[in-house]
């Protein structure tokens, strides 16, 4: 069974009956390995469409959860269940609950570091006091505003006023959470959360490929949220110094927020400042200061020192990129694509009005970025299959467009792998207007292919 992957969360969705006999067939070691390669923050099994399960049935998943945690420090658990199922799981594993339980996928998303919609007002309740606190801390760390109900009565009372809260959390249990360096994106800044004692392990916990790729796709401001860091040793110091040096060629800025040096030699701070790392007391000192943000590079993503040019290796695979794109959009729209023209130059968009865009980066044996520019109508049409209805909700369209470009990226990856070229793809980005896209692509040459789908114009741009 393949997992659906969204917002750093991989979800397996078995249906029907989970007993000891059948469960092992739902999830194999190969499925797990393939999912872990996607570097997700969480791996969950949805019980939404499970009508029956017993302890033997869940045990198969629980054993795989333990293996995953050991291998990848990923958060693992079950989601999408009702109170009856929640009580049953608690009953089965009352003294041995070392995985997480999230009443819905939306709740789980609040606890992933990749969740992009911060500042949610979240009402939460758990009978277990320590769980209430643990959840509140995690939510706060992820940029939300947790409101804790101290009793069931208070929770029920507050629940009746649904409009006050964006999300309500109940029947949820936090097992061991992920130990990776959490990542979230705010505007054009990327925020990494580090905690506890920082040592040589930071090299394993930090996703350097993601960081490098963020540099490639235009991010310039990287903030380390270090409020919960107790101290760091020389290995961590070296790691951050190197990170700052390697980012310098992209004109990137690295900041630390909330870091105290009570238990860390103050000389480390001097060394890090020498490497170009900046220190701030509060996150809002940066995020609420537009001038500073601009100065640090968060408002402009185009400030690339070494603009890289498209090379022969990429151009030789152009057909694969175009094929992946047209085949995906043909699949989603049930219409035929016609190639109008293909030229090498900076991206040229004749009429910017009513157009939205998305991009996805790839790295590995070759690296670069695919950009797709859609008139809104085609974007809507292309997303209809995924959404299931015609919608004008721009946020939903952009989210779905990200999924669509993810499918394109996946197809590119498969086609290239058939030619023994191994690449990984980044998270997709979407642009509500062409102007924000042009900030990224300014000065970059690439191959522009104009395509038509049932006479609707559509633009494909491949660059580095």
Partner 1 sequence: MITEDKINFYIDKIPPTPKALRDTLLLLNAGELIKASHVAAEDLALKAYLKNIVNKPIYGFKNEVSDISQIFGILGVSASQQTVYNYMMTLLSPKKWVLFKLNVHTFHDLQAKLSLNWKKILTHLQIEEREIESAITLLPASIIVAEALFNEKIDDVKLLRSVHDLDLNTILSRLCGVDLFDICEQISIKWEMPPKVAEIVQSSSGLKPSKDDSINTLAKWMHLLLFYELSQPIYVEAGLNNFIDFQIDFVSDIYDDFETLMEIQ
Which residues form the interface with partner 1 (CB under 8 A)?
A: 1-6, 11, 13-19, 21-22, 24-26, 48-52, 54, 327-328, 330-331, 334, 384-386, 388, 403, 406-407, 410-411, 414
Tell the smallest beta-carbon distance from residue 12 to partner 1 (Å). 10
| Shorter beta-carbon distance to partner 1: residue 253 or 333 | 333
Phi, psi at residue 220, to the nearest 5°?
-125, -15
Q: Are 460 and 358 in contact (CB under 8 A)?
A: no
Which token pair is 224?
A: 């380390």
| Shorter beta-carbon distance to partner 1: residue 55 or 269 | 55
Nearest to 298 by CA among 439, 94, 154, 176: 439
Q: Is 201 exposed, middle or buried (0-12, 13-18, 19+ CB in 10 A)?
A: middle
| Shorter beta-carbon distance to partner 1: residue 35 or 172 | 35
Which token pair is 379?
A: 């974007």
Nearest to 271 by CA among 263, 281, 261, 262: 261
Nearest to 448 by CA among 354, 385, 370, 374: 370
Tell the smallest beta-carbon distance from residue 94 to partner 1 (Å). 21
Tell the smallest beta-carbon distance from residue 400 to partner 1 (Å). 8
| Shorter beta-carbon distance to partner 1: residue 11 or 198 | 11
Nearest to 406 by CA among 440, 429, 423, 438: 429
Tell the smallest beta-carbon distance from residue 347 to partner 1 (Å). 26
Cα 233 to chain centroid distance, Å, stands at 29
Tell the smallest beta-carbon distance from residue 382 to partner 1 (Å). 12
Q: Are 221 and 189 in contact (CB under 8 A)?
A: yes
Tell the smallest beta-carbon distance from residue 260 to partner 1 (Å). 42
| Shorter beta-carbon distance to partner 1: residue 4 or 121 | 4
| Shorter beta-carbon distance to partner 1: residue 225 or 399 | 399
Q: How far apart are CA 294 and CA 290, in angstroms?
A: 6
| Residue 81: other Cβ atoms inside 10 A | 21
Q: How far apart are CA 362 and CA 441, in angstroms?
A: 16
| Shorter beta-carbon distance to partner 1: residue 334 or 433 | 334
Q: How far apart are CA 441 and CA 461, in angstroms?
A: 10
Q: How far apart are CA 12 and CA 2, in angstroms?
A: 7
- Give DSSP secondary structure letters for 106-155: HHHHHTSTT------EEEE--SSHHHHHHHHHHHHHTT-EEEE-SSHHHH
Tell the smallest beta-carbon distance from residue 416 to partner 1 (Å). 14
| Shorter beta-carbon distance to partner 1: residue 51 or 70 | 51
Q: How far apart are CA 5 and CA 2, in angstroms?
A: 9
| Shorter beta-carbon distance to partner 1: residue 138 or 403 | 403
Tell the smallest beta-carbon distance from residue 427 to partner 1 (Å). 12
Tell the smallest beta-carbon distance from residue 24 to partner 1 (Å). 7
């Amino acid at each position: 069974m393949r997992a659906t992957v969204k917002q750093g969360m991989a979800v397996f969705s078995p249906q029907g009956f989970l007993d000891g006999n059948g469960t092992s067939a739902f999830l194999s070691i190969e499925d797990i390995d393939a999912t872990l390669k996607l570097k997700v923050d969480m791996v969950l099994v949805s019980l939404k469409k499970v009508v029956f399960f017993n302890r033997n049935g869940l045990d198969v998943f629980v054993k795989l959860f333990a293996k995953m945690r050991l291998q990848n420090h990923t958060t693992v658990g079950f989601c999408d269940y009702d109170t009856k199922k929640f009580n049953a799981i608690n009953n089965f594993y009352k003294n041995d609950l070392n995985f997480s339980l999230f009443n819905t996928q939306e709740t789980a998303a609040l606890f992933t570091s990749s969740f992009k919609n911060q500042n949610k007002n979240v009402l939460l309740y758990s009978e277990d006091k320590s769980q209430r606190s643990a959840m509140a801390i995690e939510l706060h760390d992820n940029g939300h505003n947790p409101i804790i109900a101290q009793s069931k009565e208070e929770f029920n009372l507050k629940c009746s006023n649904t409009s006050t809260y964006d999300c309500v959390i109940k029947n949820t249990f936090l097992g061991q959470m992920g130990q990776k360096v959490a990542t979230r994106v705010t505007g054009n800044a990327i925020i990494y959360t580090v905690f506890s004692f920082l040592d040589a392990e930071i090299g394993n916990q930090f996703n350097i490929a993601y960081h490098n790729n963020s540099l490639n796709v235009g991010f310039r401001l990287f903030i380390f949220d270090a409020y919960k860091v107790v101290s760091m040793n020389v290995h961590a110091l070296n790691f951050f110094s190197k990170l700052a040096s390697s980012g310098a060629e992209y004109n990137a800025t690295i900041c630390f927020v909330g870091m105290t040096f009570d238990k860390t030699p103050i000389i480390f701070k001097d060394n890090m400042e020498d490497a170009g790392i900046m220190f701030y007391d509060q996150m809002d000192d940066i995020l609420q200061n537009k001038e500073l943000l601009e100065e640090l590079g968060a408002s402009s993503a185009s400030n690339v020192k070494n603009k890289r040019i498209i090379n022969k290796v990429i151009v030789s695979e152009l057909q694969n990129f175009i094929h992946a794109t047209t085949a995906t959009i043909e699949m989603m729209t049930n219409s035929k694509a016609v190639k109008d023209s293909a030229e090498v130059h900076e991206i040229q968009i004749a009429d910017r009005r009513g157009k939205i865009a998305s991009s996805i980066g790839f790295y590995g044996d070759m690296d670069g970025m695919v950009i797709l520019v859609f008139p809104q109508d085609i974007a809507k049409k292309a997303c209809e299959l995924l959404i299931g209805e015609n919608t004008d909700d721009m946020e939903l369209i952009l989210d779905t467009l990200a999924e669509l470009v993810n499918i394109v990226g996946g197809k590119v990856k498969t086609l290239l792998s058939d030619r023994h070229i191994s690449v990984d793809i980044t998270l997709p980005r979407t642009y509500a207007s062409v102007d924000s896209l042009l900030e990224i692509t300014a000065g970059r040459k690439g191959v522009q292919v104009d395509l038509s789908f049932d006479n609707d114009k559509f633009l494909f741009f491949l660059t580095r």
